[in-house]
Structure 1
Amino acid sequence: MHNEPLAFRMRPRTIDEIAGQQHVIGQNTALYRMIKNGHVPSMLLYGEPGIGKTSLVYAIAGSTNLTFIPLNATTSGKKDIERVVDEARITGKVILFLDEIHRFNKLQQDTLLPHVENGSVVLIGATTENPFHDVNPAIRSRCGEILQLNRLEKADLILLLNRALTDEARGLGKQTIQITDEQIEKIAEGVNGDARKALTLLESLISASDEEDGTVLIEDWLIENLIGRIGVFGDKNGSHHYNLLSALQKSVRGSDTDAALYYLAHLLEVGDLVAVNRRLLVMAYEDIGLAAPEVGPHVAAATDAAIRLGMPEARIPLANAVIEMCLASKSNSAYQALDAAIAAIHQGKTGDIPMHLRDTHYAGAEKLGHGGYIYPHDHPIGSFGGWVNQSYLPDAIANLQFYTPVLAGEEKKSAAIYERLKDFRKKK
């Protein structure tokens, strides 16, 4: 009887056994050809848990004759790295697989990096965090390849599951298991592209199922029960969490209600209500803006209610807010205008504040030439309120324009007023 988990036993032994990740290790990729020709470059593998980073490394090692040493950066020390270096001196070259490489400390780096640089140690690092954010630049600079792995497709997972069911040496092939193609497909669909979860789920199903005359009978209700929340991945600080926040905002900006709700659901399952609320408030003013000015207060009320309610009830006002933002008219003109003004200041486009706008609330202001301001409220103009034709920008930049209206929703009315006032100013 096997003691190791099924997912461990079914790891690919060579690169030809890898399922999925064809963009990284397919037969037409440079990496595949290099390994087949006996050259293994140092590299970083980046991606979510369970999508095959470790399996890819073991498959690469199995496709070469080099000594293979796996370590974890969270538990390894200087002595472990020195052991790798000593092995490289004896054998000429080793492959070092360093999992959680973003936790690699400076002492380990100082010991290892010269040997990676001279080629005696081939460093393959794996991380769930964005290497451009979390991996030390010294490591990145010595890894010629930074490869992002993707979640496996359903077809890849079905291939892995069937391989496990039929493999007599490493898998479940010696057992008689009654499982339908539809049930295998349901497992593949329910694990969110995670090969480890797919094989672990299959193994759990076998253990939990009844037997009849030596045949294991897989039942639909048991699959549903075990899948549960298996598709949720992320934490409050990981790179994937920020990818989810980014995807939520871009889906709202693109008016895709279903996609926005999907990413909101995933974020709420991860559990960072504060980050979700903050992002929704930003979106209300960044992406909806003047086109639907009522949305900002609505979202503020929804996020405040979510904090007061807590989960799971918080999802209710947040769902309202996300759908309203998706279907609202959109404009980014206000913050773009402010950014243009900030950029102008940084570029040195400045000037003296006009005398009539300067403070006059002190004795001696008149002697400095301050004054002459005309109070707009004393000059009504239709239903607009008060307006008077006087300059406000410094004379040196009087012709600059920062705001460009977006003709959407309520901003159409504001845009018409803006253009009309510009015409009035030209008559000065």
Structure 2
Amino acid sequence: MAYRPLADEIRPQSLDQVVGQRHILGENGLLRRIIEGGNIPNLIFYGPSGTGKTTVANIIAQRTNRPLHRLNATTASISDIKDIIGDIGTLMAPEGVLLYLDEIQYFNKKQQQSLLEFMEDGRITLIASTTENPFFAVFGAVLSRATVFEFKQITAEDALPAVERGISIMEERLGAQVVCEDGVKEHIAWACGGDIRKAMNAIELLLSAARREQGKLLVSLEDAKTVAQKSAMRYDREGDAHFDIASALMKSMRGSDPDAALHYLARLLEAGDMITAIRRILCSASEDVGMAYPLAVPIVKACVDNALQLGLPEAKLPLAQAVVLLATAPKSNTSCMAIEAAMADVRRGRVGDIPRHLQNVHADSSGLEREQGYLYPHSFPGRWVDQQYLPDELKDARYYVYGENKTEQAAKRYWDEIKRKRE
């Protein structure tokens, strides 16, 4: 008998056997009602690998009389699509076909466009899956003709029954009772990171190498940890997970939640992505803490330099220090908002001529010699003198507004007092 991977053997045959996805496949879930109704529209399944997208597509195929064609966009071509289209209207597919297109994000615009006419008139019912955000990865015309359903990451609690079922199947295969140390099943369920395929692969490897004693297969927690180590980290430097974790780190620091910030830092470091963490930390020091605590910038820079010199795993120490500092520091985005406002004016063409008294002195030797009229602030009390710095058409523009924190309010009081005296 040919070898069959455990992950394939355990694949659900009904919606009730699908792990997780209760939000769309539960008793009143919309996708469940659509499938049970039998009138299948064009669908796009979006979510991490191993969460049931292909399984649900197979179940849908069992409920329709249309022939099922499968393509993987990583290897398929226009000719493969033409072959499928060629069957439509023939005895092979008199009522059209059901096309399951895996990893649709790898189809270019032309390849995706080739499906439009047949999706429009119903001769092709498309079920596409993608691990990337379809609103970025799928051509708009295809997206407008399909309904998107998000498959969410499976929790350890949801994965545990599948782990137990996988172990039972392996017991039958190997003809021996499996005895697991406490915590083995729970560790596999947790370490698979919501990917049931990973969990089944881990079980298959673990039990195939398990020690036999008195007709029993003994599975230790140590072996389980070795087989399933770091599987829980779902991370792709080019995919949504990369940007989601980086965004969550930044927003947690901005939101003054050190625990959440440390959690997302840990996820980046566990994936070995120290550079993304460093970029967000450096950015947050100026964008979110800013003028409320300007010393955060050199302190954070010192932490980053230490981390780069130390390398992982020791780099976690100064980076954690930087994250905690930023998360617990007072916040001000006044300088950030100020530069955004200034750049918006520049982009709109609001620039104007630089006032003569601010121009470089080289202008005085250009053949148009005239008195520059610049007032040197250090020559006046308080090191300040009232003169125009912005171009005439922007002379009343105000980009920077002092924040309410102690640092900026102290600076405001200082300059208000000096300027009041000079008026």
TM-score bracket relative to the smaller structure: 0.7 to 0.9
Alignment TM-score, normalising by the size of structure 1: 0.86
CA separation of 1:88/1:420 partners in 2, compared to 1, >3 Å: closer, same or farther? farther
The residue aligned with 1:126 is: 129
The residue aligned with 2:101 is: 98
Give structure 2 stretches of 5+ with no counterpart. Answer: none
Deviations 1:244-293 (A, max 9, x none): 21111112112222322222232233334433332322122111211121
1:197-276 aligned at under 5 Å gives the runs 197-276=198-277
| 8 Å contact from structure 1 (residues 44, 146) kept in 2 | yes
User: For 2:51, what is the secondary structure of its paired residue?
Assistant: coil
Q: 1:68: Cα distance to partner?
A: 1.7
The residue aligned with 1:149 is: 151
CA separation of 1:147/1:417 partners in 2, compared to 1, >3 Å: closer, same or farther? farther
| 8 Å contact from structure 1 (residues 191, 198) kept in 2 | yes
Deviations 1:48-102 (A, max 9, x none): 2222222222232233333222211111123321232233333212221111211
| 8 Å contact from structure 1 (residues 166, 173) kept in 2 | no
Q: Aligned partners of 2:113 and 2:156: how far apart in 1?
A: 42
Q: Matched residues, percent identical?
A: 38
Q: 1:152: Cα distance to partner?
A: 0.7
Are 2:34 and 1:34 aligned?
yes
Q: Aligned partners of 1:373 and 1:79: how far apart in 2?
A: 72
| 8 Å contact from structure 2 (residues 183, 221) kept in 1 | no
User: For 1:119, what is the secondary structure of its paired residue?
Assistant: coil
User: For 1:410, what is the secondary structure of its paired residue?
Assistant: helix
Q: Aligned partners of 2:363 and 2:159: how far apart in 1?
A: 77
| 8 Å contact from structure 2 (residues 268, 276) kept in 1 | no
The residue aligned with 1:116 is: 119
| 8 Å contact from structure 1 (residues 354, 394) kept in 2 | yes
Are 2:417 and 1:424 aligned?
no
Q: Aligned partners of 1:117 and 1:420: how far apart in 2?
A: 71
CA separation of 1:339/1:80 partners in 2, compared to 1, >3 Å: closer, same or farther? same
| 8 Å contact from structure 1 (residues 14, 63) kept in 2 | no
1:289-328 aligned at under 5 Å gives the runs 289-328=290-329
User: For 2:69, what is the secondary structure of its paired residue?
Assistant: strand
Structure 2 letter corresponding to 1:41: P
Q: 1:104: Cα distance to partner?
A: 0.9
User: For 2:384, what is the secondary structure of its paired residue?
Assistant: coil
Are 2:6 and 1:6 aligned?
yes
CA separation of 1:159/1:419 partners in 2, compared to 1, >3 Å: closer, same or farther? farther
The residue aligned with 2:54 is: 54
CA separation of 1:110/1:390 partners in 2, compared to 1, >3 Å: closer, same or farther? closer
CA separation of 1:249/1:418 partners in 2, compared to 1, >3 Å: closer, same or farther? farther
Q: 1:419: Cα distance to partner?
A: 5.0
| 8 Å contact from structure 1 (residues 288, 329) kept in 2 | yes
Q: 1:356: Cα distance to partner?
A: 4.2
Q: Aligned partners of 1:235 and 1:339: how far apart in 2?
A: 31
Q: 1:136: Cα distance to partner?
A: 2.8
Give structure 1 stretches of 5+ with no counterpart. Answer: none
The residue aligned with 1:284 is: 285
CA separation of 1:60/1:245 partners in 2, compared to 1, >3 Å: closer, same or farther? same
Are 2:392 and 1:389 aligned?
no
Structure 1 letter corresponding to 2:103: E
| 8 Å contact from structure 2 (residues 69, 99) kept in 1 | yes
| 8 Å contact from structure 1 (residues 359, 370) kept in 2 | no
Aligned residues: 420
Alignment TM-score, normalising by the size of structure 2: 0.87
User: For 1:75, what is the secondary structure of its paired residue?
Assistant: coil
User: For 2:401, what is the secondary structure of its paired residue?
Assistant: coil
Q: Aligned partners of 2:266 and 2:219: how far apart in 1?
A: 30
User: For 2:70, what is the secondary structure of its paired residue?
Assistant: strand
Structure 1 letter corresponding to 2:166: A
User: For 2:381, what is the secondary structure of its paired residue?
Assistant: coil
CA separation of 1:179/1:362 partners in 2, compared to 1, >3 Å: closer, same or farther? closer
Structure 2 letter corresponding to 1:315: K
Q: Aligned partners of 2:277 and 2:40: how far apart in 1?
A: 42
Structure 1 letter corresponding to 2:158: D
Match of 1:163 among 165, 172, 195: 165
Q: Aligned partners of 1:181 and 1:147: how far apart in 2?
A: 37
User: For 2:148, what is the secondary structure of its paired residue?
Assistant: strand
Q: Aligned partners of 1:173 and 1:117: how far apart in 2?
A: 50
Deviations 1:212-265 (A, max 9, x none): 333323322222222211112223222211112111111211222232222223
User: For 1:406, what is the secondary structure of its paired residue?
Assistant: coil
| 8 Å contact from structure 2 (residues 181, 221) kept in 1 | no
| 8 Å contact from structure 1 (residues 165, 172) kept in 2 | no
Q: Aligned partners of 1:338 and 1:50: how far apart in 2?
A: 44
Q: 1:187: Cα distance to partner?
A: 2.2
Greater CA deviation, 237-246 or 52-61? 52-61
User: For 1:197, what is the secondary structure of its paired residue?
Assistant: helix
Structure 2 letter corresponding to 1:218: V
Match of 1:405 among 378, 402, 407: 402
Q: CA RMSD in A?
A: 3.1
